[in-house]
Amino acid sequence: MITKIQSIAQLKQLFLEIFINKTNKISDISDNSVVNATAYGVSKVAQKCMKDISIVESHIFPDTAYGAYLDSSATMFGAPARGGALGSSTYVRIVANPGAQYIAGTQVFSNYNGIQFSLESTVTVGSLGFIYAKVRSIDTGSKTNVDPNSIISVSPQPAGHIGVTNEYMATGGSDVEDDELFRMRIKKHLNILAKNTIEYFTEVFRLTNPNILRLINLGNGEAGNRVIGIVTQNGINLTDTELSDLLEATKDYFCLTDLSRFGNTIGISLVNADWFYVDMDFRGQILSNYDPNEVRKSIQINISKYLDFRTWTNTDKIDWANLLQIVRSTVGMKYCPDTNFSPNVDLQPPANKLPRVRGFILRDMDGNIIADSANVLTPVFYPVI
């Protein structure tokens, strides 16, 4: 906030300084004098005024507003209201016989609490006997942020299915839009006046789909169309139907050169942004009085903060030493050697690709996979290749 609330002593000093400068009738002020009491009363009223001014500022300025005050700030700036509940997304490791197919819209994955996930695209297991597939929660809310190694079943099971698990926790689920993302959206909403810029299109698409976080200009496609990559707040990929509906709903905001004579958008193509996959595999020693499941989850939370795609730029890189330090500094982790840590080199995601952890394997010092209490992780999930 702009207004800084001062203490009573500071305000009294300011009042008495002005008071003495305007009269020569007083040379000294004692603690129990009438003038001192008057100075205290004036200072107390001034402090209350400063407090009320600060509250008003918290309504006006998004940087200092929070909660209901931030909602009021959005209304004053003309920004869309706070977004609602969102689902989560993650990657599952599917182990099956080569050729086994998992069809989007047919196979439904579930964790041990009944939270269901669906495939974003159809996948087929290759010759290695396993594949990573991206899934999104069917339900919404923070309850969909399930723990690692909790998605353990699929229905109906295709022929050749052996097992499934999520090595990394599901992220992105929320009951309502948090203050951080809401504040960012309010401050950027005025970009809707910056015609024919990527920021302008971002605000236009958000009017239809509040889940959109940012857009990436991918240049021109093979057909000469302008290709725009879409990044969502919770990391899910939009379906082809959602992409086409988004383009249809916002076509009135495009310039004439992007429209055909019948009003269809012919110069714009919407695609999902590409991800740069990060697969982690390392050994570590966990303190005996700590639950390995909680330590694994704490490590993944800290890594998600480090690889936050919401603020990622093309100039950022993944420093493997930082990943190692995150693991070592996590509460409950006693030791993590760098000799068996993967990745063991710095990673530079290509331009316009965002980092996302896909695989996460935690082993003991002998190389054995640390299983959870339900013994979900078994050697059949990780054959020696």
Task: Give the pLDDT confidence of 289-314 residue by residue, as tens digits.
Answer: 998 889 999 999 999 999 988 888 88
* Coil/strand/helix, residue 3: coil
Predicted local confidence at residue 382, as pLDDT: 57
Tell whether 80 is covered by a domain: no
Residue 276, pLDDT score: 93
Residue 287 structural domain: 277-375
Beta-carbon neighbour count of residue 64 at 10 Å?
Answer: 16
Residues 6+ apart with CB under 8 A from 300: 148, 168, 169, 357, 360
Task: Give the residue with greater pLDDT, 296 vs 81.
Answer: 296
| 90-116 mean pLDDT | 92
The answer to whether residue 177 sits within a structural domain is no
Amino acid at 345: V
pLDDT in tens, 140-185: 999 999 999 899 899 999 999 998 999 999 998 988 888 888 888 8
Sign of CA dihedral 323, 329, 332, 337: positive
Residue 361 lies in a domain: yes
CATH number assigned to the domain comprising residue 266? 3.30.300
Is 0.85 topped by the overall pTM? Answer: no
- pLDDT surpasses 90 at 113: no
Note the residue count of the chain. 385
| Domain boundary residue, one of 247, 272, 297 | 272
Helix (H, G, I), strand (E, B) or coil at 93: strand
**Claim to verify: residue 308 and residue 350 sit in the same structural domain:** yes
Q: How confident is the model at residue 94 (pLDDT cuts 50, 70, 90)?
A: very high
Chosen domain end from 257, 272, 287? 272
Q: Across residues 113-127, what is the average pLDDT? A: 92
Chosen domain end from 272, 291, 306? 272
Regarding whether 116 and 94 lie in a shared domain, the answer is yes
Tell me how many domains the chain contains: 4
67 inside domain: no
For 129, the enclosing helix (H) or strand (E) is none
- pLDDT tens digits, residue range 234-284? 889 998 899 988 888 887 777 756 666 555 666 788 899 999 999 999 999
Mean pLDDT over 189-211 rounds to: 82
Q: Is residue 242 part of a domain?
A: yes
Q: Is the domain of 245 the same as that of 284?
A: no
pLDDT for the residue 385: 45
